[in-house]
C-alpha cells in the first residue's frame, strides 16, 4: 500500500524546518520584449473534439506497435504503457522540489499564505518512492516538513514521499481488474491531442486507489496528465487532491514533471480544524547533461600542424595568475553545482540577466577581468549570491520580480560584490574539495556574505543604480521590496536561502516613492512560476511566452503565491511555433501594452 501523504499527531515540533579585457564602448541593451507584464487582450479557448471515433490520420507512432482499432485495445495499450513506466523509471534519480503554502481566509483577497514548508531531495526510484533530502540539516527525508503546529492546535505533518507518490496513478494494480474507464472526449493539451477518460476504482478493489480523470496522447497512448485523488484515508491520515503532468522528454517517453496539489478546507482534523493549502512539486535532472558530455567525448577531432608566428607574449604576471586561479575555483564550483542539478546550464535566462548587468557596467564605466557572468539556481527559494565574478539568482527570484528595474536592483547589489573585490574562497581550485556527497552540498558550499560585505554592497549598488538607465524606474522595485517585507512572516521558508543571501534589503531603493499597490496596472510581485519554465530532462530554463491577459483584479495578483501548473505540452522534437512573448517594457517602467 502506498505511503500516506499527511499524518496527524499530538506532538508539535518547532524545528524550522583569465579572459582579455573588454572595451567600455559596449551599448546598453533593452529587454522590452521579455520583462514587463502586458495587460489587455482576450482569452481563447482550447480546441476540443467530442467525437468518440479513434483518429486514423494521426502521425505515425514512435513505436513499431500496430495502432489499436477498438476501445478495448486502446485501454490495454494505456495500461501497458503506464505499468511499463513504473519499471523504466527505476533507472532515474531526479531532483524533487516540493513547496507548500498553508492558507488562511482574507476578506479582500480570498486566501493568503499563512506559513510554508519546503523540501528538496533526490528521488531513488530503484528503492520505491524514496527521497534523500538535500535541504534538511539533519539529512532526513520523510518527516522533515515537521508540523504546522504554529497554525493549528494539533500538529499536522506533511510527508514528502507522499507528494512524490502523486507522479504515479497506481503502482500496485493499475489494471482493468481494479478500475473502470469511461471515455469522455478528445481534447488538446497544448499541441498534443489527447483522449480523456474518467477512471474510478471498482468495488472492493482496496484503499488508496486513484479516482479522477486521465489524459492520454493519441499516438503512443501514454498518460500525459491525471487529475484527482487517492481514496481511503482515515482519521489520522489524508490523501490530497492533485493535478499531475508529464513531459515528452525523448521519443515515446513521457516522464513526470509537475504536480499541483490543493485543499480548500474540506479536510478536517483535530475535530474542528480545517486544512487549507496549495503545493507545487517539480522534478528535474533526469539526464543531468550526461548525454552532452558523452557526445563531447566522442567527437572526432582533426589535428593539423600550426605554426604560431605571433609576437604576443603568452606568459602570465603574478596578478594574472591569481585571477586565473580564482577563476578556476569559480569554474569548479559552477561545474559541480550544474552536474548535480542545482545550477541550470547556460541558456536564455542567463542572457537576459547578462544584458541587464551589461547595462549597469556600461553606464558606470565598470570593466572587470574576468568578466562578470550570470547563472540561475534551479530552486524556488528566493536568494542571490556571487561565486567570484559569477552572479547567481535563483529561479524563484527571477520568477517573482515584476519588471526589469526590479531585476536590475538585485543584480546591481550582486555586481557590487565583484566590484568591491569580495572573493570566493580559492580552496575550491583544488578538485578534491568538490568531491562531496549530494546531500552534503548545502553544508559544504556556502556563499553568504558577512554583514559588513552586505552593507558595503548595498551602498555601492545604490551608486550603480543612480548612474544607470534604471534610476528613474525604481518605484516598482520599491513596491516589490515593500511587498516582500509584508509577506515575510507568512513565507519564511521561501525567503530562506540555502547557498547565498536573502533578497538584499536595499534600504535606499525601498525608500523611493512606490506606486499604489492597488492600481490594477501595477504588480508588486508575480506568483511563483511567473517568468521561467524548466525542461525536466536537461534542466534548461526558458522564459515563459504567453498571450496577453485582461485586467487583473486584486485577488488575481497573488504575490509570491503558489498557483496551478498549466504547461503547454509539445511532442519531443516538435518544431511548431511557440506563442510569442506578451510582455513589454516601456521607457518609463510602466506596465503597458506592447506596441503593435
Instruction: Tell me the pLDDT of the chain (596 aa) as tens digits.
Output: 444 344 444 333 333 333 333 333 444 555 544 454 333 333 333 333 333 344 433 444 444 568 888 999 999 999 999 999 999 999 899 999 999 999 998 888 888 999 999 999 999 888 777 788 887 644 444 444 443 333 333 445 677 777 888 999 998 899 999 999 999 999 999 999 999 999 999 998 888 899 999 999 999 999 999 999 998 655 555 678 999 999 999 999 999 999 999 988 666 554 556 778 999 999 999 998 554 555 555 555 656 666 656 556 678 888 888 778 788 888 888 999 999 999 999 999 999 999 999 999 999 999 998 899 999 999 999 999 999 899 999 999 999 999 999 999 999 999 999 999 887 777 777 877 777 777 777 777 878 888 999 999 999 999 999 999 999 988 889 999 999 999 999 999 999 998 888 888 777 777 776 666 667 678 889 999 989 999 999 999 999 988 877 778 888 889 999 999 999 999 998 854 444 333 333 333 333 333 33
Flag whether 579 is in a domain.
no
- What is the structure's pLDDT at 43? 36
| Integer Cα distance of 282 and 178 in angstroms | 29
Are the C-beta atoms of residues 409 and 393 closer than 8 Å to each other? Answer: no
Domain containing residue 407 = 319-543
3-state helix, strand, coil in the chain (%, to 5): 25, 25, 50
- What is the structure's pLDDT at 589? 37
Flag whether 556 is in a domain.
no
Same domain, yes or no: 356 and 275: no
Same domain, yes or no: 442 and 363: yes
**What's the number of domains the chain is made of?**
2
Same domain, yes or no: 401 and 279: no
Flag whether 25 is in a domain.
no
The backbone torsions φ and ψ at residue 402, rounded to the nearest 5 degrees and listed phi first, read -80, -25
CA gyration radius for the chain?
A: 25
Choose the final residue of a domain: 518, 543, 568: 543
| Integer Cα distance of 526 and 544 in angstroms | 13
Same domain, yes or no: 341 and 257: no
Flag whether 35 is in a domain.
no
| Integer Cα distance of 48 and 185 in angstroms | 8
Q: Which residues pair with 163 in a beta bridge?
A: none
Same domain, yes or no: 270 and 353: no
26-84 pLDDT, tens digit per residue, is: 445 555 444 543 333 333 333 333 333 444 334 444 445 688 889 999 999 999 999 99
Same domain, yes or no: 257 and 354: no
| pTM over cut 0.75 | yes
Flag whether 563 is in a domain.
no
Q: Which three cell numbers stand for residue 176?
A: 482493468
Flag whether 15 is in a domain.
no
| Integer Cα distance of 34 and 583 in angstroms | 5
- What is the structure's pLDDT at 38? 37
Flag whether 521 is in a domain.
yes
Flag whether 112 is in a domain.
yes
- What is the structure's pLDDT at 380? 96
Same domain, yes or no: 234 and 328: no
Beta strand extents in 131-252 (DSSP E only): 131-133, 155-158, 179-189, 192-201, 210-217, 223-230, 241-250
| Integer Cα distance of 380 and 282 in angstroms | 10
Are the C-beta atoms of residues 251 and 533 closer than 8 Å to each other? Answer: no
Same domain, yes or no: 405 and 520: yes
Same domain, yes or no: 493 and 376: yes
Same domain, yes or no: 102 and 213: yes
Choose the final residue of a domain: 284, 310, 340: 284
- What is the structure's pLDDT at 308? 57
Choose the final residue of a domain: 496, 526, 543: 543
Same domain, yes or no: 279 and 326: no
C-beta pairs of 453-458 under 8 Å, 24+ apart in sequence: 453/417, 453/420, 453/422, 454/501, 454/504, 454/505, 456/416, 456/420, 457/413, 457/414, 457/416, 457/417, 457/420, 457/422, 457/504, 458/413, 458/416, 458/504, 458/505, 458/506, 458/507, 458/508
- What is the structure's pLDDT at 296? 55
Same domain, yes or no: 368 and 278: no
Q: What value, to the nearest 5°, has the Cα angle with vertex 281 and ends 278 and 282? A: 145
Amino acid at each position: 500500500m502506498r505511503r500516506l501523504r499527511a499524518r496527524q499527531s499530538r506532538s508539535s515540533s518547532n524545528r524550522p524546518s583569465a579572459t582579455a579585457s573588454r572595451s567600455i564602448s559596449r551599448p546598453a541593451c533593452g529587454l522590452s520584449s521579455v520583462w514587463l507584464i502586458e495587460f489587455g487582450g482576450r482569452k481563447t479557448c482550447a480546441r476540443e473534439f467530442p467525437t468518440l471515433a479513434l483518429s486514423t490520420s494521426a502521425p505515425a507512432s514512435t513505436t513499431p506497435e500496430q495502432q489499436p482499432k477498438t476501445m478495448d485495445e486502446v485501454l490495454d495499450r494505456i495500461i501497458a504503457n503506464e505499468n511499463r513506466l513504473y519499471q523504466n523509471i527505476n533507472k532515474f534519480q531526479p531532483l524533487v522540489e516540493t513547496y507548500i503554502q498553508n492558507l488562511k481566509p482574507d476578506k479582500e483577497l480570498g486566501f493568503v499564505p499563512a506559513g510554508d514548508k519546503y523540501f528538496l531531495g533526490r528521488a531513488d526510484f530503484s528503492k520505491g518512492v524514496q527521497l534523500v533530502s538535500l535541504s534538511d540539516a539533519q539529512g532526513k527525508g520523510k518527516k522533515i516538513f515537521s508540523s504546522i503546529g504554529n497554525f493549528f492546535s494539533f500538529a499536522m505533518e506533511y510527508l514528502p514521499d507522499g507528494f512524490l507518490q502523486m507522479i504515479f496513478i497506481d503502482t500496485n494494480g493499475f489494471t482493468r481488474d481494479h478500475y473502470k474507464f469511461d471515455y469522455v472526449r478528445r481534447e488538446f493539451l497544448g499541441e498534443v491531442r489527447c483522449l480523456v477518460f474518467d477512471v474510478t476504482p471498482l468495488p472492493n478493489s482496496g484503499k488508496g486507489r486513484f479516482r479522477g480523470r486521465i489524459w492520454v496522447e493519441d499516438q503512443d497512448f501514454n498518460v500525459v496528465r491525471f487529475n484527482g485523488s487517492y481514496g481511503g484515508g482515515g482519521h489520522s491520515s489524508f490523501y490530497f487532491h492533485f493535478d499531475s503532468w508529464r513531459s515528452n522528454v525523448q521519443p515515446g517517453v513521457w516522464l513526470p514533471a509537475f504536480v499541483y496539489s490543493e485543499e480548500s478546507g474540506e479536510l478536517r482534523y483535530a475535530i474542528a480544524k480545517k486544512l487549507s493549502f496549495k503545493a507545487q512539486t517539480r522534478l528535474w535532472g533526469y539526464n543531468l547533461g550526461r548525454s552532452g558530455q558523452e557526445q563531447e567525448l566522442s567527437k572526432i577531432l582533426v589535428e593539423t600542424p600550426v605554426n604560431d608566428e605571433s609576437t604576443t607574449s603568452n606568459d602570465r604576471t603574478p596578478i594574472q595568475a591569481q585571477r586565473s586561479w580564482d577563476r578556476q575555483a569559480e569554474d569548479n564550483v559552477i561545474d559541480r553545482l550544474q552536474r548535480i542539478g542545482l545550477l541550470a546550464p547556460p541558456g536564455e535566462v542567463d542572457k537576459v540577466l547578462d544584458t541587464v548587468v551589461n547595462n549597469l557596467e556600461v553606464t558606470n564605466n565598470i570593466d572587470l577581468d574576468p568578466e562578470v557572468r550570470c547563472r540561475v539556481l534551479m530552486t524556488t527559494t528566493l536568494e542571490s549570491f556571487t561565486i567570484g565574478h559569477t552572479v547567481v539568482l535563483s529561479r524563484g527570484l527571477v520568477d517573482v520580480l515584476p519588471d526589469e528595474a526590479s531585476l536590475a536592483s538585485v543584480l546591481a547589489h550582486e555586481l557590487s560584490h565583484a566590484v568591491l573585490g569580495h572573493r570566493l574562497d580559492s580552496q575550491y581550485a583544488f578538485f578534491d574539495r568538490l568531491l562531496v556527497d549530494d546531500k552534503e552540498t548545502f553544508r559544504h558550499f556556502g556563499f553568504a556574505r558577512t554583514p559588513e560585505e552586505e552593507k558595503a554592497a548595498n551602498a555601492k549598488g545604490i551608486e550603480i543604480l543612480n548612474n544607470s538607465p534604471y534610476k528613474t524606474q525604481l518605484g516598482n522595485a520599491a513596491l516589490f521590496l515593500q511587498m516582500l517585507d509584508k509577506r515575510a512572516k507568512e513565507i519564511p521558508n521561501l525567503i530562506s536561502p540555502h547557498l547565498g543571501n536573502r533578497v538584499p534589503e536595499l534600504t535606499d531603493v525601498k525608500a523611493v516613492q512606490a506606486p499604489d499597490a492597488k492600481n490594477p496596472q501595477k504588480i508588486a510581485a508575480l506568483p511563483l512560476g511567473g517568468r521561467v519554465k524548466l525542461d525536466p530532462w536537461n534542466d534548461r530554463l526558458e522564459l515563459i511566452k504567453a498571450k496577453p491577459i485582461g485586467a487583473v483584479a486584486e485577488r488575481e495578483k497573488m504575490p509570491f503565491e503558489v498557483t496551478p501548473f498549466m504547461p503547454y505540452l509539445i511532442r519531443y522534437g516538435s518544431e511548431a511555433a511557440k506563442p510569442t512573448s506578451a510582455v513589454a517594457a516601456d521607457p518609463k517602467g510602466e506596465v503597458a501594452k506592447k506596441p503593435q
